Amino acid sequence: MEKTAVRIQGRESVAMTTAEFGRLFATWRARFEAIACRYVRSAAVAEDLVSDSFMSFWENRGRIPADANLQAYILIIVRNKCLDWLRAQSLHAKIEQEVYELRRRVLAADIRSLQAFNPEEIFSAEVAAIVRQSLDRLPELTREVFVARRFEELSYKEIAEKYGITVRRVEFELEKAVKQLRVALKDYLPVLLMLLSDNILRS
């Protein structure tokens, strides 16, 4: 195959046939891969970078002076590609480290939150909210009678005197409150048994 050359800045560029390029590649590839591997620490990566370097040389041969040291020129390309790869790896590692640190901080926060978590407090808060909501829905007298019995621990007689009603009416209002709370607290059996224990309906 005939060699071709072009003039660049008053000088001829590299004139090379594909066969000559093939011989150049075969002669220097292994040595360049060994050099590249020392820095990128991966034979596969070194092979790719050297192959890319030779392709870059071939594609840009028209801009290379004819008197250039081709081996040195290609090795410079290899060096630059190794540098680019290492910089990309460094950036990737930095990003991974930042992501790792973020995940570590989130995990630490989750661990602290879980260690501080008290199921009994959450459970008690839920029950208290349900009781409040249930009592708020009761008629005023029914609610006051229940509170007087359950929380103020007044007797039926004392409640009757306090609200000016009969003891039978006290019983009626308490039974109405108990039915409402029994439905609301059906999923909280232990609390239900405590809150609606027999003594609440005892005079």
Name the residue with higher pLDDT: 43 or 12: 43
pLDDT at 6: 36
- Tell me the whole-structure pTM to 2 decimals: 0.48
What are the helix (H) ranges across 117-198? 119-137, 140-150, 156-163, 167-184, 189-195
Name the residue with higher pLDDT: 164 or 201: 164
Tell me which architecture the domain covering 16-91 has in CATH. Orthogonal Bundle (1.10)
- State the number of CA atoms in the 13 A half-sphere of 126 facing the CB: 13
Average pLDDT over residues 84-108: 85
pLDDT confidence tier of residue 200, bands split at 50, 70 and 90: very low
Examine the pLDDT at 30 and tell me if it is beyond 90. Answer: yes
Distance, first Cα to last Cα, the chain: 117
Name the residue with higher pLDDT: 103 or 18: 18
Question: What is 28-80 written as a DSSP string?
Answer: HHHHHHHHHHHHH--HHHHHHHHHHHHHHHHHTGGGSBTTS-HHHHHHHHHHH
What confidence tens digit (pLDDT) does each residue in 144-183 have? 988 888 878 888 889 999 999 998 898 888 888 888 877 8
What does CATH list as the number for 116-199? 1.10.10.10
pLDDT at 5: 41
Locate the domains of the chain by residue range. 16-91, 116-199
Same fold, 16-91 and 116-199: no
